Structure 1
């Protein structure tokens, strides 16, 4: 089955200059292998299209069930230098929550559902 990242994990972000740092934390340890397998640095960059112009590095924090992405060239030259109001780490971390993952049916009970609008 397909699930959005927001059902599997939550994110935290920061930015410095033209680099964004985004951490993705699995809600449950059993969901972490899905993140490691499917949310690669290449897919992370491709998902954000032109918003990230530089290299994306991925670091695994196994004991936290988290992935940390460092995206270079992600903030239009830097938040204070860019004319774009959307080029903040928070915008990139919120956007990645729409990334789709393939989730085995047996893990479906671990997924978080979206709160009703």
Structure 2
């Protein structure tokens, strides 16, 4: 199973920082997603694209927000990356395979 089976995402950017919101389709999946989407696993999945990852839990929204520093290689006006705004990063994260974890 992949993350996109249980959640959808939305990205935003500010300078060299990208944020990816992961929103559970169903509220009962949030506990599992919180255990499966550790900062370490997200950073490993995104690989060389990141310097640091911070996670903010938003249980009232059934969501988590990941703030990823260094993801945009200088930001929109300074990067030669094809995806300068980082809009594809949510698709990259949503393709992440999910582990088996006890809830």
TM-score by length of 2: 0.91
Q: What SS does the corresponding residue of 2:87 show, helix, strand or coil?
A: helix
Among 13, 16, 20, the alignment partner of 1:15 is 13
SS in 2 for 1:35: helix
Segments of 5+ residues of structure 1 without an aligned counterpart are 105-117
User: Residue deviations 1:43-91, cap 9 Å, x none?
Assistant: 1111011011x21100000111101000011100112201111343311
Q: Does 1:100 align with 2:83?
A: no
Q: TM-score, normalised by structure 1?
A: 0.81
- Cα distance 1:41–1:87, how it changes in 2: closer, same or farther (>3 A)? farther
Offset at 1:42?
1.3
Pairwise CA RMSD: 1.4
CA distance in 1, matches of 2:18, 2:75: 9
Q: Residue 28 of structure 1: CA displacement?
A: 0.4
- 4+ residue runs over 4 A deviation: none
